[in-house]
């Protein structure tokens, strides 16, 4: 692995797991697996898994116009948040393409934390800084924080053992608490995740991340806790139909095409990209992101062409795999809207051969 790749504060602990295999993920040296993708996937679905997602970016927005600023650059309605509440949202370009998808945490009325995708940290920060309004401060805290994601049915009981002064199980989904002691380390704990399972995301000082990781494993060993890498993170989010920036979302894909209309609040007034999204809503989107299941043998992979019965291209696969949970060959595809109805037959071009598939309901998995 190239020495110029960035490493998270938890990197030294990877050596504790002999099966660890790291890859270059957007300039980061990160584990694609610790033991095996299927094993780690199953641990999260049925027990618990712990992810190092410290490569994600964290920005802090402060000032009396902090809410107004975030309202102007995101699609969801941040004014609906109360202290200790988070929301999923997106930033769009004026033409409706996606800058990034992100989480916004309201800490107080004049302080928010914004969590962005690792590959987009610099671009997102520049975009936000370019659109700053008066009396708002934007700070990049990405290098100061580590992020651990504890996910799975046993996550709550494991957290109860390391947060004895705070009952994390009282946190509703998309709620968070600051100054929670996790293994004796002050942390921000959020009931959020990217797996389709219950779970918590733990933001902690980079210097304390290894201690928190080890504390969670000491508590979680009896509950089947396993370290989980990027491979399982991808298959888990895929089954739950959670989008990945660069595949289901991009500057060339609008959130309406991606099926994210619940997170676009056109009623809230002006925001960047609103005019384009209003036009799309009125006219209808030309493409839709839908799920497919292969009828004939084959696995749909990212960027494979999708065709109609005449072999005419109508779109492409954005993500696809053999589902570790369902044992079916499934894909997410961005195709012309006329072919997006449930039950419609489409063909995926796999190694030069057209292989039959069918549009199916998503998410593929829901707990």
Q: Give how far Cα 337 sits from Cα of 193, 284, 367, Å.
A: 30, 9, 28
Count the residues in the chain: 367
Instruction: For residues 205 and 141, give the distance between their C-alpha atoms in angstroms, rounded to a whole number.
Output: 10
In 3-state terms, what secondary structure has residue 3? coil
Radius of gyration of the chain (CA): 21
Instruction: For residues 85 and 299, give the distance between their C-alpha atoms in angstroms, rounded to a whole number.
Output: 39
Instruction: For residues 235 and 242, give the distance between their C-alpha atoms in angstroms, rounded to a whole number.
Output: 10
Query: What secondary structure, in 3-state letters, does 182-193 show?
Result: ECCEEEEEECCC
Is the CB of residue 340 less than 8 Å from the CB of residue 359? yes
Strand order in the sheet with 176-182: 176-182, 185-190, 199-205, 145-151, 48-52, 225-228
In 3-state terms, what secondary structure has residue 82? coil
Instruction: For residues 61 and 136, give the distance between their C-alpha atoms in angstroms, rounded to a whole number.
Output: 7
Is the CB of residue 124 less than 8 Å from the CB of residue 136? no
First-to-last C-alpha distance (Å) of the chain = 37
User: Would you say 201 is a known binding-site residue?
Assistant: yes
Alpha helices (runs of H) in 146-262, residue ranges in sequence order: 155-162, 209-220, 230-239
367: which DSSP letter? -
Instruction: For residues 107 and 83, give the distance between their C-alpha atoms in angstroms, rounded to a whole number.
Output: 5
The annotated binding site for substrate is made up of 201
Binding region:
201
């Amino acid at each position: 692995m190239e020495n110029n790749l960035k490493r998270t504060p938890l990197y030294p602990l990877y050596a504790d797991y002999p099966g660890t295999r790291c890859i270059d993920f957007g300039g980061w040296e990160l584990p694609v697996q610790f033991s095996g993708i299927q094993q780690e996937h199953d641990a999260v679905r049925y027990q618990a898994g712990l992810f190092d997602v410290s490569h994600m970016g964290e920005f802090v927005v402060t000032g009396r116009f902090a809410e107004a600023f975030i309202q102007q650059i995101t699609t969801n309605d941040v004014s609906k948040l109360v202290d200790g509440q988070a929301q999923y949202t997106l930033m769009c370009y004026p033409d409706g393409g996606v800058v990034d998808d992100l989480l916004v945490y309201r800490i107080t009325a004049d302080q928010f934390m914004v969590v962005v995708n690792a590959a987009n940290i610099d671009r997102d920060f520049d975009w936000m800084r370019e659109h700053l309004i008066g009396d708002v401060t934007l700070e990049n805290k990405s290098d100061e924080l580590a992020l651990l994601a504890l996910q799975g049915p046993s996550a709550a009981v494991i957290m109860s053992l390391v947060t004895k002064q705070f009952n994390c199980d009282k946190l509703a989904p998309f709620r968070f608490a600051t100054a929670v002691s996790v293994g004796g380390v002050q942390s921000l704990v959020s009931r959020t995740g990217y797996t389709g399972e219950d779970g918590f995301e733990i933001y902690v000082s980079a210097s304390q991340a290894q201690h928190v990781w080890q504390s969670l494993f000491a508590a979680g060993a009896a509950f089947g806790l396993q370290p989980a890498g990027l491979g399982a993170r991808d298959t888990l989010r895929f089954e739950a139909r959670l989008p990945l920036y660069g595949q289901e979302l991009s500057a060339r894909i609008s959130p309406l095409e991606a099926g994210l209309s619940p997170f676009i609040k056109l009623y809230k007034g002006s925001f960047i990209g609103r005019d384009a999204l209003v036009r799309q809503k009125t006219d209808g989107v030309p493409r839709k992101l839908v799920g497919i299941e292969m009828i004939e043998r084959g696995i749909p992979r990212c960027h494979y062409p999708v065709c109609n019965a005449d072999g005419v291209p109508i779109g492409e696969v954005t993500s696809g795999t053999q589902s570790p949970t369902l044992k079916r060959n499934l894909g997410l595809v961005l195709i012309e809207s006329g072919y997006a109805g449930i039950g419609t037959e489409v063909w995926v071009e796999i190694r030069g051969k057209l292989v039959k598939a069918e549009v199916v309901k998503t998410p593929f998995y829901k707990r």
